[in-house]
């Protein structure tokens, strides 16, 4: 491989993804999930996006996360 | 289309897949194969390889020797915000694999799975921002450098919000233009998002940069009923069923409007091919795909 150059990381995106993963893995009731997405500062950077999540699609993602997600 | 695209199979190691697909191979119909390039090493937490079927490797070698082998990554987690040692090892293994065997191109999924403490998860969409576009361009360039092959991205079936479907075409176009990458257009994924969000599937397909499509995926899936009273079933891209009738018009649309299309693959998970009915359905889907490509090419010649 070519010489290493600095990775283009996005720490804020990483934090957001960690928070979303944690929320999905808990598979909360839809109202509780919506409340956390609306109020939790961890989702502030993308509030408009998370506020538009469809409940059925969020629950589907949570179902898949409970099956697939593995923690270190 | 300058020449007819090849028609092939996403090639899997399960014995049920072998039994289902072998008549197609024996008839000389499978013009190309795509392998989940990181199947042996992508999901393991250490460097240990997973075992593979004895018939699998010689087939990969055969198609590579005929310049008809394609690589599809599954476990990179392309849009994870933080690049980790796991990502770095994945790229190193990709480079090794591409030096050992000739691939026409490589691709990965447009989404993310891993973050912080989670080393595995389902594939999820990322929000479209300037920063995410810049990150993705950098990652796609690295994928091309590591493999020394053209690198591309597959559109995501997963959507949490309408923007995940409505913006995905433009989102991918920005990234592919920035990194000179190609689009792996999965038409079942387009239909899945359209169904789940009440959108017109054909209109959604036309939002994609069709001039950058080099590969198509065609597959089936399943329905999931969310734990929400009165919710409509949600479509999933689970590769465990026959190609739905509604997807074939999208295949035709893509065949007619993707001038750089090189190859079309049918996908089906191996463990879902255990019965005669399932195997017959799989072979029927493949034969229909061959027929669709033939018709599309005849239409072009006649025009």
Closest CA to B128 of B91, B95, B161: B161
- Name the minimum distance, in Å, from the CA of B156 to any CA of chain A: 13
Please tell me whether residue B1 adopts helix, strand or coil conformation. Answer: coil
- A6 Cβ under 8 Å from any chain B Cβ: no
Does A1 have pLDDT greater than 50? no
Q: What are phi and psi of B149, to 5 degrees?
A: -135, 160
Identify all chain A residues contacting B145, using CB atoms and an 8 Å cutoff. Answer: 1-2
Q: pTM of this prediction?
A: 0.95
Q: What is the pLDDT of residues B150-194, one digit of tens each?
A: 999 999 999 999 999 999 999 999 999 999 999 999 999 999 999
User: What integer pLDDT is reported at residue B3 of this predicted model?
Assistant: 82
Residue B119 predicted with pLDDT over 50: yes
Q: Do B119 and A72 touch (CB under 8 A)?
A: yes
Rounded to an integer, what distance in angstroms lies between the CA atom of residue B287 and that of residue B289? 5
Residue B49: pLDDT band (50, 70, 90) is low
Q: By percentage, how much of chain B surpasses pLDDT 90?
A: 87
Q: Is the model's pLDDT at B122 over the cut of 90? A: yes
Closest by Cα among A46, A7, A27, A38 to B228:
A27
Query: Region B214-221: what's the mean pLDDT?
Result: 97
Interface check B126 vs A, CB under 8 A: yes
User: 72-111 in B: which are within 8 Å (CB) of A?
Assistant: 80-83, 91-92, 95
Residue A31: list chain B partners with CB under 8 A. Answer: none
**A3 in contact with B at a CB cutoff of 8 Å?**
no
Q: What average pLDDT does the segment A2-8 reach?
A: 66
Q: Across-strand partners of B218? A: B266
pLDDT attached to residue A30: 87
Cβ contact A9–B83 (<8 Å): yes
- Asked if B119 and A71 come within 8 Å (Cβ–Cβ), the reply is yes
């Amino acid at each position: 491989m070519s010489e290493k150059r600095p990775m283009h990381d996005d720490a804020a995106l990483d934090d957001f993804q960690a928070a979303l993963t944690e929320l999905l893995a808990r598979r909360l009731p839809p109202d509780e999930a919506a409340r956390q997405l609306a109020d939790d500062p961890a989702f502030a950077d993308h509030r408009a996006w998370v506020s538009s999540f469809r409940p059925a699609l969020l629950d589907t993602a949570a179902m898949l996360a409970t099956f697939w997600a593995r923690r270190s | 289309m300058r020449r007819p695209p090849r028609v092939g199979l996403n090639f899997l190691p399960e014995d049920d897949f072998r039994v289902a697909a072998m008549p197609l191979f024996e008839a000389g119909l499978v013009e190309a194969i795509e392998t989940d390039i990181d199947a042996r090493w992508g999901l393991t937490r250490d460097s240990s390889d997973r075992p593979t079927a004895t018939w699998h490797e010689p087939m990969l070698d055969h198609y590579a020797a005929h310049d008809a082998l394609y690589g599809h990554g599954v476990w990179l987690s392309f849009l994870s915000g933080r690049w980790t040692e796991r990502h770095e090892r994945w790229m190193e293994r990709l480079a090794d694999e591409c030096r050992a065997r000739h691939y026409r191109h490589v691709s990965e999924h447009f989404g993310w799975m891993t973050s912080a403490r989670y080393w595995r998860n389902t594939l999820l969409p990322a929000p479209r921002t300037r920063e995410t576009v810049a990150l993705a361009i950098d990652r796609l360039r690295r994928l091309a450098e590591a493999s020394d092959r053209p690198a591309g991205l597959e559109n995501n079936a997963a959507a949490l919000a309408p923007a995940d479907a409505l913006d995905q075409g433009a989102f991918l176009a920005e990234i592919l233009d920035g990194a000179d990458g190609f689009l792996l257009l999965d038409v079942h994924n387009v239909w899945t998002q359209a169904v789940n969000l009440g959108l017109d599937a054909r209109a959604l397909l036309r939002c994609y940069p069709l001039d950058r499509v080099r590969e198509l995926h065609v597959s089936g899936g399943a329905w999931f009923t969310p734990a929400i009273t009165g919710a409509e079933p949600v479509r999933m891209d689970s590769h465990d069923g026959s190609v739905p009738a509604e997807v074939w018009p999208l295949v035709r649309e893509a065949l007619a409007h993707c001038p750089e299309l090189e190859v079309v693959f049918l996908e089906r998970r191996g463990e879902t091919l255990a019965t005669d009915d399932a195997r017959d359905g799989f072979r029927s889907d493949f034969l229909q795909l061959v027929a669709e490509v033939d018709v599309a090419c005849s239409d072009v010649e006649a025009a």
